[in-house]
Amino acid sequence: MREDGSLLWAPRAWIGGQWRDAVLLRVGADGHWADVAVGVVAPAEASLLPGPVLPGMVDAHSHAFQRAFAGVAERRTGDHDDFWSWRDRMYDVALRITPAQLRAVAAQLYAELLHGGYTQISEFHYLQHAPDGQPYADPLELSWALAEAASDTGIGLTILPVLYERAGFAEPALRSDQRRFATSADGVLALHRGLRDSHRSLLTAGVAIHSLRAATPAAIARLVAPLGDVPIHIHVAEQTGEVADCLTATGERPIEWLTRHTALDARWQLVHATQSTPEEIVAVARSGAGVVLCPTTEANLGDGLADLPGWLGAGVPLSIGSDSQVTRSWGDELRLVEYGQRLHLRQRNVAASPDQGEPATASRLLERALHGGGVAAGFKRWGLVAGARADLLVIDTTAASLLGIPGSHLLDSLVFSTPGRPFRDVMVGGRWVLCEHRHPREAEIARLFVGAMQELWPG
């Protein structure tokens, strides 16, 4: 791999929502940007980057173990197939995967996500116990498997241990096939402390609540009360069935319940929020909470379409997530979030806002996802700015989808034209983890992944 350099010069870089020319970036000893300057002649001691530069993207919602299930659930054997039938089949993998297999699967996923332009993962981690449901001697056994996978690849990782108490609003406990997920508020707080106090490089921690159906109001309050400024994520309003169940149990819709019964603020991230009303969007906007969209998973599971114009118009922070891992590229996520709206509304460039000086769909979506993703992962600063972690993507302008494209339309083509491998080099925390499209441990990671898959799917 190329030697790490403390001084980098890019011909163009995406800063503050626009392209800036002749950008000098200095990496500090702490792996953060010590200085970012524009309009600078390249000094002799700087490493010259071979293409335009973007900030790394945060994958704000990931279930790493589901990479072992991607492509294995695309057949229907009965009269009906939806999220709930998919979930039951997914549990089969969740009940069998071992810590070693999880590390192998996650490492393959994280390497693929680096190729897809992500440099930080928010892992919504609800797989906690041994296959028989008994706690491991170290309750963080599976968290460490994820952390080791991140270390194997060099990607940043935010682990969000999940509060998961019951199978549904009317259920007192979990089902047998959910036995590996069981946690309490105190247990999640202990997991969070263990992760936080480990001081591992590129590892941070927050917490998550699986969903309103999976956690009691008392447990949610107990979990959130002692937390400081850390991310709090929750699945909410993903499915129409979930909305109906919440209405029956509480008399309120899921997002409505959250806005009325919790102190939503900028720490909170509402994952999916597919089924929303205009009134709920206004209430979330007032709270400062963000929304995490996972368009390829939401499409794969038949969830429906989020109200993208509503969330954008209200100024709610938005981020994106790979979720079930059917796609591992942020370009694919941004493209589908826009295309879904085009199909639904029979319009083009739905996410663009020329009245606000943002006529380019890709630029507006990218900037919102960069800002929202940084907040979702718990970072005060994110992007090519002094004080942010030194992450960047070097665009390969020789990629098939970018050949001959005017520089003013580079982002448009990157998101809306395929195929191609747009990211030549990737830096995380001041270190190159991909160089000339290659990861140094790619073959070893792939070999271990194939072995894990053969164990999980014999024959």
Could you give the residue numbers annotated as active site?
272, 323
168: its two tokens: 């549904």
The identity of residue 411, as a single letter, is: L
Place of tokens 């979330």: 284
325 backbone dihedrals φ, ψ, rounded to 5°: 75, 20
Q: Give residue 173's Cα distance to chain centre.
A: 29
In terms of DSSP bridges, do strands 392-395 and 53-54 run parallel, antiparallel, or are they unpaired? antiparallel
Residue 197 has a CB neighbour count (10 Å cut-off) of 9
Q: Residue 88 and residue 66: Cα distance in Å, rounded?
A: 13
Amino acid code (one letter) for 414: L
CB-based contacts of 162: which residues, under 8 Å, 6+ apart?
124, 125, 126, 128, 181, 183, 188, 207, 208, 209, 210
